[in-house]
Amino acid sequence: MAIADQVRIGISLPQAFPEGPAEPEMIVRFAQRAEVLGYDSLWVQDRLMGHATWLEPLNLLSFVAAATFTIRLGVATLPLPWHNPVRLAKSLVTLDQLSGGRLTVGLSLGGTYLNDTVVGAVPERRLPAFNEALRLMQQLWTEEDFDFDGEFWTLRNATMDPKPVQSAGKGLMPIMLGGVHPDAIRRAVRVADGWMGAASSTVDAFKVQVAVVKEALAEAGRDPSTFTIGKKQFLVLDDNVGRATERMRDWAGRSIMNADLGERVALLGPSSVVAPGLQEIVDAGADLLVLNPVDDLLDQVEHLALVMGMRQHFEI
């Protein structure tokens, strides 16, 4: 059975341009082709600093929303303590409206490194700030004329319109949380619609994390069919394993400043290597694969669709 018949297949949008300026025309071509080929969703992430030309995620998704029709749009993940929750709630609901209800929101705690100081976040208060901000955004998306008394935010007679187009859960956009610590995974089960395994995690680590997800779902009495388990995966599809490895190391060294990590966690080589590696992730419990090719993207989006066994959407 083709992998595409077992799980939803997403793919990362072109977002990082280590060798120069952004390429808007290529981004549109990639997004439109992914939609025609039958990918479930297009994904971006939040990254403030770095030498690579790295585009801001919500502006990029808005740009792509105007050029596509049915493919879902996802961000994995937005570090919530980096953002004003009221402004972020407005940006997200605007994107959901403009895309016709196609947005999936991925959130995380963020890191305790330079970006925290840039945005004024307080690392030791990240968790309570995250919990309060998520609760506030959910109320803004569902309630009218409410008061909010929190540790970080106070609102009186608050209303935000429009509301999200979608009606997942209690009228909310689907929320997926990131994080690899067991506490983060359990938090996702408590408050979100899904959990996204990191591209920087190995398949073996993902298996351990999925076991925590399943245990937490059972403890909470949640129906597993209502909770998405996702995994982002770095990969290079190339008939030559050595060349694939060099391509990944080159990209990872310039874009995430860690060539060794890129090589260690990626699937590299021909379809006979990449497809079984992805099948292993599916067998571990993923129901959403987010493929993250790193270069030669217009070629990779085509060939990965063949490897996944997708069927083109000729009606688009």
Residues 102, 151: Cα–Cα separation, whole Å: 32
Span 259-289, pLDDT tens digits: 999 999 999 999 999 999 999 999 999 999 9
User: Span 3-237+267-308: which CATH code?
Assistant: 3.20.20.30
Domain ranges of the chain: 3-237+267-308
Residue 167: predicted pLDDT:
61
Lowest-confidence region among 39-43, 65-69, 91-95, 119-123: 119-123
Give the pLDDT confidence of 75-131 residue by residue, as tens digits.
Answer: 998 999 889 999 999 999 999 999 999 999 999 987 655 455 555 556 678 889 999
Strand partners, 74: 43, 104
pTM of the model: 0.94
| Angstrom distance (rounded) from CA 53 to CA 97 | 28
In 10 A of CB 225, how many CB atoms? Answer: 7
Query: What angle do the packed helices 126-142 and 85-98 form, to 10 degrees?
Result: 50
Give per-residue pLDDT as tens, 188-210: 999 999 999 999 999 999 999 99
Task: Tell me: pLDDT of 149 over 90.
Answer: yes
* Sign of the torsion formed by the C-alpha atoms of 120, 126, 130 and 132: negative
Mean pLDDT, all residues of the chain: 92
72-79 vs 175-177, strand pairing mode: unpaired
| pLDDT value, residue 316 | 38
* Per-residue pLDDT tens over the stretch 209-268: 999 999 999 999 999 999 999 999 999 999 999 999 999 999 999 888 899 999 999 999
45-49, 146-150, 311-315 — most confident range: 146-150
Please answer whether residues 200 and 261 qualify as being in contact, where contact means their C-beta atoms are separated by less than 8 angstroms.
yes
Pick from 23-32, 47-56, 100-109, 277-286: least confident: 47-56
- For tokens 């992914």, the residue is 34
Measured from the Cβ of residue 184, the count of other Cβ atoms closer than 10 Å reads 17
- Asked if residues 214 and 285 have their Cβ atoms less than 8 Å apart, the reply is yes
Using pLDDT thresholds of 50, 70 and 90, give the confidence band for residue 20: confident
